[in-house]
Amino acid sequence: MVSRRMLLGALASGLAVPALAWAEGDNPTPSVLTRKGRRTRRALKSQATDKAALDKALAEVKPLEDPNAVEPAEVHPPAVSPDEALGRLKQGNAIFARGGASIALPSLVRIAELSKGQRPFAVIVGCSDSRVGPELVFDCNLGELFVVRVAGSTVSQEGLGSIVYAVEHLGAPLVVVLGHTKCGAVGAAVDVATKHVDLHGALLNMVLPIMPAVLEAQDKHPADLQDAAIRQNVRDVAARLKVADGTLAEKLSEGRLKIVSATYDLASGVVAFDA
Protein backbone atom coordinates (compact mmCIF):
# COMPACT_ATOMS: atom_id res chain seq x y z
CA MET A 1 0.00 0.00 0.00
CA VAL A 2 1.39 3.39 -0.96
CA SER A 3 0.73 6.05 1.63
CA ARG A 4 -0.40 9.54 0.70
CA ARG A 5 2.86 10.79 2.14
CA MET A 6 4.85 8.58 -0.23
CA LEU A 7 2.74 9.72 -3.15
CA LEU A 8 3.14 13.34 -2.24
CA GLY A 9 6.88 12.73 -1.99
CA ALA A 10 6.83 11.19 -5.45
CA LEU A 11 4.83 14.14 -6.77
CA ALA A 12 7.27 16.56 -5.21
CA SER A 13 10.21 14.73 -6.74
CA GLY A 14 8.81 15.20 -10.24
CA LEU A 15 7.46 11.72 -10.81
CA ALA A 16 4.07 13.13 -11.66
CA VAL A 17 5.21 15.63 -14.24
CA PRO A 18 4.91 13.37 -17.29
CA ALA A 19 1.64 11.97 -16.04
CA LEU A 20 0.23 15.44 -15.54
CA ALA A 21 1.33 16.38 -19.04
CA TRP A 22 -0.43 13.35 -20.42
CA ALA A 23 -3.43 13.97 -18.38
CA GLU A 24 -3.94 17.16 -20.34
CA GLY A 25 -4.06 15.31 -23.63
CA ASP A 26 -3.39 11.61 -23.59
CA ASN A 27 -0.24 10.37 -25.30
CA PRO A 28 1.63 13.43 -26.49
CA THR A 29 2.02 13.64 -30.25
CA PRO A 30 5.46 13.76 -31.88
CA SER A 31 4.81 17.30 -33.04
CA VAL A 32 4.39 18.45 -29.49
CA LEU A 33 7.51 16.61 -28.49
CA THR A 34 9.42 18.07 -31.38
CA ARG A 35 8.33 21.57 -30.49
CA LYS A 36 9.42 21.13 -26.94
CA GLY A 37 12.58 19.56 -28.30
CA ARG A 38 13.77 18.24 -25.01
CA ARG A 39 12.26 14.83 -24.79
CA THR A 40 14.52 12.11 -26.11
CA ARG A 41 13.33 8.58 -26.78
CA ARG A 42 15.10 7.57 -23.60
CA ALA A 43 13.35 10.20 -21.58
CA LEU A 44 10.01 9.11 -23.04
CA LYS A 45 10.70 5.53 -22.09
CA SER A 46 11.57 6.65 -18.60
CA GLN A 47 8.40 8.74 -18.46
CA ALA A 48 6.35 5.80 -19.61
CA THR A 49 7.78 3.76 -16.79
CA ASP A 50 7.14 6.60 -14.40
CA LYS A 51 3.58 6.95 -15.66
CA ALA A 52 2.95 3.27 -15.13
CA ALA A 53 4.43 3.55 -11.66
CA LEU A 54 2.33 6.56 -10.88
CA ASP A 55 -0.85 4.93 -12.19
CA LYS A 56 -0.10 1.94 -10.01
CA ALA A 57 0.58 4.17 -7.03
CA LEU A 58 -2.61 6.15 -7.62
CA ALA A 59 -4.61 2.96 -7.88
CA GLU A 60 -3.33 1.87 -4.51
CA VAL A 61 -3.86 5.15 -2.71
CA LYS A 62 -6.91 5.24 -0.53
CA PRO A 63 -9.33 7.98 -1.59
CA LEU A 64 -9.42 11.17 0.42
CA GLU A 65 -11.42 10.68 3.55
CA ASP A 66 -14.89 12.10 3.03
CA PRO A 67 -15.95 13.49 6.39
CA ASN A 68 -19.56 12.94 5.40
CA ALA A 69 -18.88 9.28 4.78
CA VAL A 70 -18.12 8.76 8.46
CA GLU A 71 -20.97 6.98 10.17
CA PRO A 72 -22.38 9.85 12.24
CA ALA A 73 -23.57 7.47 14.93
CA GLU A 74 -19.99 6.51 15.65
CA VAL A 75 -18.98 10.02 16.48
CA HIS A 76 -22.11 12.06 16.97
CA PRO A 77 -25.54 11.63 18.42
CA PRO A 78 -28.18 10.40 15.97
CA ALA A 79 -29.95 12.96 13.81
CA VAL A 80 -32.87 14.73 15.43
CA SER A 81 -36.17 15.92 14.01
CA PRO A 82 -36.71 19.60 13.19
CA ASP A 83 -38.87 20.03 16.31
CA GLU A 84 -36.34 18.28 18.51
CA ALA A 85 -33.61 20.52 17.14
CA LEU A 86 -35.75 23.59 17.81
CA GLY A 87 -36.38 22.34 21.33
CA ARG A 88 -32.66 21.95 21.93
CA LEU A 89 -32.02 25.52 20.84
CA LYS A 90 -34.80 26.85 23.04
CA GLN A 91 -33.55 24.86 25.99
CA GLY A 92 -29.96 25.97 25.38
CA ASN A 93 -30.99 29.59 25.21
CA ALA A 94 -33.00 29.25 28.41
CA ILE A 95 -29.85 28.04 30.16
CA PHE A 96 -27.80 30.87 28.68
CA ALA A 97 -30.37 33.53 29.56
CA ARG A 98 -30.42 32.32 33.17
CA GLY A 99 -26.73 33.18 33.30
CA GLY A 100 -25.64 29.56 33.31
CA ALA A 101 -23.78 27.47 30.81
CA SER A 102 -23.85 23.70 30.84
CA ILE A 103 -21.36 23.40 28.03
CA ALA A 104 -17.70 22.98 28.95
CA LEU A 105 -14.94 23.59 26.46
CA PRO A 106 -14.43 20.42 24.41
CA SER A 107 -11.72 18.03 25.52
CA LEU A 108 -8.82 17.21 23.22
CA VAL A 109 -10.38 13.78 22.76
CA ARG A 110 -13.64 15.35 21.63
CA ILE A 111 -11.80 17.73 19.30
CA ALA A 112 -10.03 14.75 17.74
CA GLU A 113 -13.35 12.86 17.43
CA LEU A 114 -14.86 15.81 15.60
CA SER A 115 -12.05 15.75 13.06
CA LYS A 116 -13.70 12.59 11.67
CA GLY A 117 -16.93 14.30 10.74
CA GLN A 118 -19.67 16.69 11.71
CA ARG A 119 -23.40 16.43 12.11
CA PRO A 120 -24.68 19.82 13.26
CA PHE A 121 -28.29 19.75 14.40
CA ALA A 122 -29.06 23.31 13.28
CA VAL A 123 -27.96 25.99 10.86
CA ILE A 124 -27.87 29.46 12.34
CA VAL A 125 -28.07 32.36 9.88
CA GLY A 126 -26.94 35.17 12.12
CA CYS A 127 -25.54 38.67 12.30
CA SER A 128 -21.79 39.23 12.61
CA ASP A 129 -22.37 41.30 15.76
CA SER A 130 -19.81 40.33 18.41
CA ARG A 131 -22.51 40.09 21.07
CA VAL A 132 -24.53 37.36 19.40
CA GLY A 133 -22.22 34.38 19.13
CA PRO A 134 -24.60 31.48 18.33
CA GLU A 135 -22.74 28.75 20.23
CA LEU A 136 -22.83 30.86 23.40
CA VAL A 137 -26.40 32.07 22.97
CA PHE A 138 -27.69 28.51 22.48
CA ASP A 139 -25.35 26.84 24.96
CA CYS A 140 -23.88 24.65 22.23
CA ASN A 141 -20.49 23.18 21.59
CA LEU A 142 -18.20 22.51 18.63
CA GLY A 143 -19.85 20.41 15.95
CA GLU A 144 -23.44 21.27 16.91
CA LEU A 145 -24.20 24.42 14.94
CA PHE A 146 -23.44 25.26 11.32
CA VAL A 147 -23.20 29.04 11.30
CA VAL A 148 -23.56 31.53 8.44
CA ARG A 149 -23.00 35.10 9.63
CA VAL A 150 -23.23 38.39 7.78
CA ALA A 151 -24.01 41.77 9.35
CA GLY A 152 -27.79 42.11 9.12
CA SER A 153 -28.42 38.33 9.03
CA THR A 154 -28.92 38.37 5.27
CA VAL A 155 -28.02 35.55 2.89
CA SER A 156 -25.94 35.89 -0.28
CA GLN A 157 -25.76 33.18 -2.94
CA GLU A 158 -22.65 31.88 -1.20
CA GLY A 159 -24.50 31.87 2.08
CA LEU A 160 -27.39 30.00 0.49
CA GLY A 161 -24.95 27.42 -0.81
CA SER A 162 -23.55 27.03 2.70
CA ILE A 163 -27.04 26.45 4.08
CA VAL A 164 -27.92 23.92 1.38
CA TYR A 165 -24.66 22.13 2.06
CA ALA A 166 -25.42 21.85 5.75
CA VAL A 167 -28.95 20.61 5.12
CA GLU A 168 -28.27 18.31 2.20
CA HIS A 169 -24.86 16.89 3.09
CA LEU A 170 -24.62 17.24 6.85
CA GLY A 171 -28.26 16.46 7.58
CA ALA A 172 -29.13 19.59 9.56
CA PRO A 173 -32.93 19.51 10.10
CA LEU A 174 -33.36 23.13 11.19
CA VAL A 175 -32.43 26.59 9.91
CA VAL A 176 -32.84 29.55 12.23
CA VAL A 177 -32.52 33.07 10.85
CA LEU A 178 -31.41 35.00 13.91
CA GLY A 179 -31.60 38.75 14.21
CA HIS A 180 -30.97 40.80 17.32
CA THR A 181 -32.15 43.98 18.94
CA LYS A 182 -30.25 47.17 18.14
CA CYS A 183 -28.73 45.60 15.02
CA GLY A 184 -26.40 48.22 13.55
CA ALA A 185 -26.70 46.89 10.01
CA VAL A 186 -30.49 47.22 10.08
CA GLY A 187 -30.04 50.60 11.76
CA ALA A 188 -27.89 51.69 8.82
CA ALA A 189 -30.61 50.52 6.40
CA VAL A 190 -33.16 52.53 8.38
CA ASP A 191 -30.91 55.60 8.16
CA VAL A 192 -30.63 55.18 4.39
CA ALA A 193 -34.43 54.97 4.12
CA THR A 194 -35.34 57.76 6.52
CA LYS A 195 -32.40 60.15 6.62
CA HIS A 196 -31.08 59.46 3.12
CA VAL A 197 -27.67 58.65 4.57
CA ASP A 198 -25.26 58.14 1.71
CA LEU A 199 -23.62 54.75 1.86
CA HIS A 200 -21.57 53.40 -0.97
CA GLY A 201 -19.39 50.53 -2.00
CA ALA A 202 -19.35 47.42 0.11
CA LEU A 203 -21.32 49.04 2.93
CA LEU A 204 -24.19 49.82 0.57
CA ASN A 205 -24.09 46.24 -0.69
CA MET A 206 -24.40 45.02 2.88
CA VAL A 207 -27.42 47.23 3.54
CA LEU A 208 -29.34 46.80 0.27
CA PRO A 209 -30.74 43.32 1.03
CA ILE A 210 -32.19 44.73 4.27
CA MET A 211 -34.00 47.62 2.59
CA PRO A 212 -37.20 45.73 1.61
CA ALA A 213 -37.76 44.83 5.27
CA VAL A 214 -37.24 48.44 6.31
CA LEU A 215 -39.76 49.69 3.75
CA GLU A 216 -42.23 46.99 4.73
CA ALA A 217 -41.90 47.87 8.41
CA GLN A 218 -42.15 51.57 7.59
CA ASP A 219 -45.57 51.01 6.00
CA LYS A 220 -46.91 49.87 9.38
CA HIS A 221 -45.74 53.06 11.13
CA PRO A 222 -44.24 51.30 14.14
CA ALA A 223 -43.17 53.20 17.25
CA ASP A 224 -39.67 51.81 16.85
CA LEU A 225 -38.85 51.44 13.17
CA GLN A 226 -35.44 49.89 13.71
CA ASP A 227 -36.82 47.18 15.98
CA ALA A 228 -39.73 46.49 13.64
CA ALA A 229 -37.35 46.30 10.67
CA ILE A 230 -35.07 43.88 12.55
CA ARG A 231 -37.96 41.49 13.16
CA GLN A 232 -39.35 41.96 9.64
CA ASN A 233 -35.92 41.32 8.16
CA VAL A 234 -35.47 37.89 9.75
CA ARG A 235 -39.02 36.92 8.80
CA ASP A 236 -38.32 37.99 5.21
CA VAL A 237 -35.00 36.14 5.05
CA ALA A 238 -36.63 32.98 6.41
CA ALA A 239 -39.49 33.29 3.91
CA ARG A 240 -37.06 33.74 1.03
CA LEU A 241 -35.01 30.74 2.11
CA LYS A 242 -38.13 28.57 1.95
CA VAL A 243 -38.39 29.11 -1.80
CA ALA A 244 -34.77 29.79 -2.71
CA ASP A 245 -33.63 26.25 -3.35
CA GLY A 246 -35.23 23.03 -4.55
CA THR A 247 -33.54 20.83 -1.97
CA LEU A 248 -34.66 23.01 0.92
CA ALA A 249 -38.20 23.24 -0.49
CA GLU A 250 -38.44 19.47 -0.88
CA LYS A 251 -37.26 18.76 2.65
CA LEU A 252 -39.65 21.41 3.97
CA SER A 253 -42.58 19.80 2.18
CA GLU A 254 -41.62 16.40 3.55
CA GLY A 255 -41.40 17.71 7.10
CA ARG A 256 -37.70 16.92 7.29
CA LEU A 257 -36.68 20.55 7.61
CA LYS A 258 -37.89 23.66 9.41
CA ILE A 259 -36.86 27.22 8.68
CA VAL A 260 -37.77 29.69 11.39
CA SER A 261 -36.87 33.24 12.31
CA ALA A 262 -35.94 34.52 15.74
CA THR A 263 -34.66 37.64 17.46
CA TYR A 264 -32.07 37.79 20.22
CA ASP A 265 -32.52 40.46 22.86
CA LEU A 266 -29.15 42.00 23.62
CA ALA A 267 -30.20 43.14 27.10
CA SER A 268 -31.76 39.93 28.43
CA GLY A 269 -30.00 37.24 26.41
CA VAL A 270 -33.37 35.77 25.45
CA VAL A 271 -34.12 34.55 21.94
CA ALA A 272 -37.73 35.04 20.85
CA PHE A 273 -38.61 32.48 18.17
CA ASP A 274 -41.30 33.18 15.60
CA ALA A 275 -42.22 29.50 15.71
DSSP 110-151: HHHHHTT----SEEEEE---TT--HHHHTT--TTTEEEEE-T
Nearer to Zn ion, 28 or 269 (CB): 269
> In the 8-state DSSP scheme, what is residue 27?
S
Nearer to Zn ion, 118 or 261 (CB): 261
**Residue 227 contacts Zn ion per CB under 5 A:** no
Nearer to Zn ion, 60 or 265 (CB): 265
- In the range 179-208, which residues lie near Zn ion by CB under 5 A? 183, 185
Min dist CB 132 to Zn ion, Å, is 7
Q: How far apart are CA 174 and CA 256, in angstroms?
A: 9
Binding mask 3-22 for Zn ion (x = CB under 5 A): --------------------
Nearer to Zn ion, 185 or 262 (CB): 185
Integer angstrom CA distances of residue 132 from 39, 149, 179: 62, 10, 9
**Residue 262 contacts Zn ion per CB under 5 A:** no
Q: How far apart are CA 73 and CA 40, in angstroms?
A: 56
**Residue 129 contacts Zn ion per CB under 5 A:** yes
Nearer to Zn ion, 185 or 234 (CB): 185
By CB under 5 A, the count of residues binding Zn ion is 4
Q: How buried is 66 (Cβ within 10 angstroms: 0-12 exposed, 13-18 middle, 19+ buried)?
A: exposed
The long-range contacts involving 43-47, CB below 8 angstroms and separated by at least 24 positions, are 47/18
Q: Of 19, 54, 86, 127, which lies in the binding site for Zn ion, with binding defined by CB under 5 A? A: 127
Min dist CB 139 to Zn ion, Å, is 21
Min dist CB 184 to Zn ion, Å, is 6
Contact 207, 198 (CB under 8 A): no
The SS3 call for residue 259 is strand
Min dist CB 66 to Zn ion, Å, is 35
Using CB under 5 A, list all residues that contact Zn ion. Answer: 127, 129, 183, 185
